[in-house]
Structure 1
Amino acid sequence: MEEKPKTAVAGNSRKQITRRRFITRAGAAALSFTIIKPELVRGTKANSKIALGVIGCGGRGTWITNLFIEHGEYQIAAAADYFQDRVDAFGEKYHVGQSRRFINLSCYRQLLEQKLDAVAIISPPYFHPEQAAAAVDAGRHVYLAKPVAVDVPGCYGIARSGREASAGKRCFLVDFQTRANPLFREAIRRIHDGAIGEIAFGQSSYHANRLAVKAPPDGTPETNLRNWVFDKTLSGDIITEQNIHTLDVTSWIMNQPPVYAVGTGGRKVRTDVGDCWDHFAVLFQYPDNVGITFSSRQFNGHGAIGGIKNRVFGSLGVLETEYGGEVLIRGKNFYRGGRTNEIYRNGAVNNIATFYENITEGRFDNSTIAPSVRSNLVTILGRTAAYEGRLVYWDKLIKSEARLEADLTGLIA
């Protein structure tokens, strides 16, 4: 995928930090060092643990840090979050001293000045491109939560950071649990080998109840940031932030981008917090006249069967997958597969282990970047088609320079 040219930037407020204000290459280079020397890769027994900084100390950040600790070869060396209460609770839990806890919007910059080998970026997706670029510039290995970005320029920024990480012999891994699951991997390998024959059409869905509100909505900048998952700009809306799980599986199966998308959606049921839509319905048209329908909801289904599901019909059989459920192929080339009950945890565990192995064994191909960027762009294609109520072509979408710009006025830089 070709990198898009940079666009001009207009400042909004001296207290507003945007993704466009990337840390300079020269300044970041001065901060570049690792505890595990690149030429040694593994380091000695005394310094063999990966010194990890965590950006984003909320629920997901704390949860995944537990898994880094359980792995046994990571040491939490620094923590960053906008909110003092979160970083302090995190610091106490993981024995991160006060001098290595950082707050406010620029917290990630201070964290990158510490002696670190790697960073885990578990912040709101809006900030991912800037924070990942700064981490790569500073010579750190990067473990990044999905989605990688909220707009097309952000996706290109992540692609660029991935290339720069590889060139600098640094690892960059995007944490998709399904792609680390052996049942999903085997089933989709079989699909690519022709197990269900010629693909005719498919279905994908992500039907879930509403997410928890972190703070009572009061319109203040701090509360909006705590409730970022309900904010279109900070999260990319539910189709990008949450539904990317199922659309990534679609993208993986099809192994090529769609031609166009057309869709609808809205905000009709969960209207008490934020501005994200609570449902989407989109048709993704792929080459060879293969249509994949997609639907999602994020509100009370009153007992209706939900889940994260994909189904693809072919001339010889059908692939059925469910995140946390069954993975199997029906038809001529039957594959029993199995259940993926612990995929949320086990997928992250597998990715954390792979990240460690990549670092210590010197594997810098960073193969998760390209498919993650493509899946992210697929969600943006569907989102754009639904927002605008019209057919949107992939070839036009990927040339877009439109950015989602968060109003961070009132937050401390």
Structure 2
Amino acid sequence: MTIPKRSVNPRRDFLKAGAVALSALPVVSGGVYAQGSDVLKIGLVGCGGRGSGAAAQALRADKAVSLHAMGDMFSDRLEGSLNSFNKDKELAGKINVGDKKFLGFDAYKKVIDSGVDVVLLTTPPHFRAQQIKYAIEKGKHVFAEKPVAVDATGVRSVLESCKQAKAKNLAVVSGLCWRYHYGKRETMARIHEGQIGDIVAMHTNYVVGGLWHRKREPEWSDMEWQLRNWLYFTWLSGDHIVEQHIHSLDKCMWAMKDEPPISAMGLGGRQVRVSTDFGHIFDHHAVVYEWKNGAKAFSYTRQQDGCFNEVNDYLMGTQGTCDVMKHQIKGKNPWVMKKRPQDDMYQNEHNELFASIRAGKPINDGEWMCQSTLMAIMGRMATYTGKLITWDMAWNSKEDLSPAKYELGMMPMPEVARPGITKFV
């Protein structure tokens, strides 16, 4: 089964769309907030660094907004985030949290039920599907950090929720931020217009060093330790090919006009980050994706210290090549972006989210964010099992990484995947 394909705008419409979104045209109709006449109340679920950053960007995106409620698993994370807002002179006047501070696995429900209009979902990715489902059921606009799931079961749930959001005229904006980068929009629009001809190959790297890690405290249960080190557990993060490399894979999907690949094969493992302190995920993946027209994407991701680092994407077509990060095309139709607009993609996401709500034309990124998430999961399936994984196999996978129960107690750590032995589910 194929997720419906998203339409592609020509280049001038990409640029026009950004300008219109920022203008936030006021309208007066049922469920629409006219510019400046209503305060949009924001709820934050997940108060770590990314969540705090997203909340700050949301508060800067619109004059008439307030942070109304906050939720997290742990009080130290929530209070640290709240204190940072209260110390920020620009944001402090928009903080109206009071006692609407909620903790625990069900904190998201309490935030959503507290009277918010927009909810920012920035917890570890495992929880995204259930949170999006509840938010849409309750009629809330959503900002969903990437990825939106860690298994195909979650992807299918999110796609269904996004269909419901569209029917309810609710916004769903993805944290796959390169789609909101003006330079990348201009570059991809030129690719879609054929400036390098037909794409025959893509090479994408997300090869970097290690990320943060929190030493286990004696009083932490297994579950708390895993939640506080969520990057290193597949059920929480999806592995770094899903949690981080999804940015690169999303650009490949975007270049292919959101047509999904038909298959993936790959290899991966743990060579450096082998201690159980780092859970059970791999520290490197290499995957080859193939499309029905024969085009291939060669993708590499690594989290190992002391190595060569690069984050870049290269497209090769029948009439030229493109260095995506440099916004440069070589070949028959050469081009380079020489004058770039002020471009903060993280801020752009929220500017366009709130502008779309004000205009009564809510953005819905559901289809493409689900496809890109599944593409990343498909790559993990290939590297964990050593098998050739088709798109239909990935879409119909019965894998569900949810724990048996959500409580701060014992939580066994899964074995490290072994290609050729680990089974496809």
Identity of aligned residues (%): 29
For residue 378 of structure 2, the aligned residue among 376, 381, 387 is 381
Aligned positions of 1:67-216 closer than 5 A? 67-71=57-61, 72-94=63-85, 95-216=95-216
Pick closer, same or farther for the CA change 1:38–1:244 going to 2, 3 Å: farther
| CA RMSD in angstroms, aligned pairs only | 2.3
For residue 394 of structure 1, the aligned residue among 386, 391, 396 is 391
| Secondary structure, counterpart of 1:287 in structure 2 | coil
Whether the 8 Å CA contact 1:203–1:312 is kept in 2: the answer is yes
Deviations along 1:13-55, one digit per CA (max 9) or x if unpaired, are xxxxxxxxxxxxxxxxxxxxxxx9961612474x523100000
Gaps of 5+ in 2: 4-26, 86-94, 410-425
| Secondary structure, counterpart of 1:99 in structure 2 | coil
1:338 shift after superposition = 5.0
Alignment partners' CA distance in 2, 1:289 and 1:217: 51
Deviations along 1:265-306, one digit per CA (max 9) or x if unpaired, are 01111123111111001111112221211111011144x2x2
* Structure 1 equivalent of residue 47 of structure 2: 57
**Count of aligned pairs between the two proteins:** 371
1:340 shift after superposition = 8.0
For residue 358 of structure 1, the aligned residue among 340, 349, 356 is 356
Return the letter of the residue paired with 1:372.
M
Whether the 8 Å CA contact 1:51–1:77 is kept in 2: the answer is yes
* Structure 2 equivalent of residue 238 of structure 1: 240
Alignment partners' CA distance in 1, 2:154 and 2:120: 18
For residue 269 of structure 1, the aligned residue among 264, 268, 272 is 272
Deviations along 1:348-374, one digit per CA (max 9) or x if unpaired, are 1111011101111111351x1111111
Alignment partners' CA distance in 1, 2:375 and 2:71: 30
Whether the 8 Å CA contact 2:288–2:296 is kept in 1: the answer is yes
Pick closer, same or farther for the CA change 1:126–1:138 going to 2, 3 Å: same
1:59 shift after superposition = 1.1
Return the letter of the residue paired with 1:199.
I
Are 1:258 and 2:248 counterparts?
no
Pick closer, same or farther for the CA change 1:298–1:162 going to 2, 3 Å: same
Return the letter of the residue paired with 1:387.
Y
Whether the 8 Å CA contact 2:42–2:69 is kept in 1: the answer is yes
Return the letter of the residue paired with 1:307.
E
1:407 shift after superposition = 5.3
Alignment partners' CA distance in 1, 2:407 and 2:150: 22
Pick closer, same or farther for the CA change 1:406–1:38 going to 2, 3 Å: farther
Alignment partners' CA distance in 2, 1:239 and 1:341: 31
Alignment partners' CA distance in 2, 1:340 and 1:150: 35
Deviations along 1:28-87, one digit per CA (max 9) or x if unpaired, are xxxxxxxx9961612474x52310000000111112222222233421000000001111
Pick closer, same or farther for the CA change 1:275–1:167 going to 2, 3 Å: same
Whether the 8 Å CA contact 2:155–2:373 is kept in 1: the answer is yes
Are 1:406 and 2:409 counterparts?
no
Pick closer, same or farther for the CA change 1:96–1:89 going to 2, 3 Å: farther
Pick closer, same or farther for the CA change 1:342–1:97 going to 2, 3 Å: same
Pick closer, same or farther for the CA change 1:85–1:38 going to 2, 3 Å: farther
* Structure 2 equivalent of residue 23 of structure 1: none
Gaps of 5+ in 1: 4-35
Deviations along 1:362-390, one digit per CA (max 9) or x if unpaired, are 11351x11111111111111111111101
* Structure 2 equivalent of residue 370 of structure 1: 367
Whether the 8 Å CA contact 2:286–2:301 is kept in 1: the answer is yes
Alignment partners' CA distance in 2, 1:93 and 1:245: 28
- TM-score, normalised via structure 2 length: 0.82
Pick closer, same or farther for the CA change 1:342–1:83 going to 2, 3 Å: farther
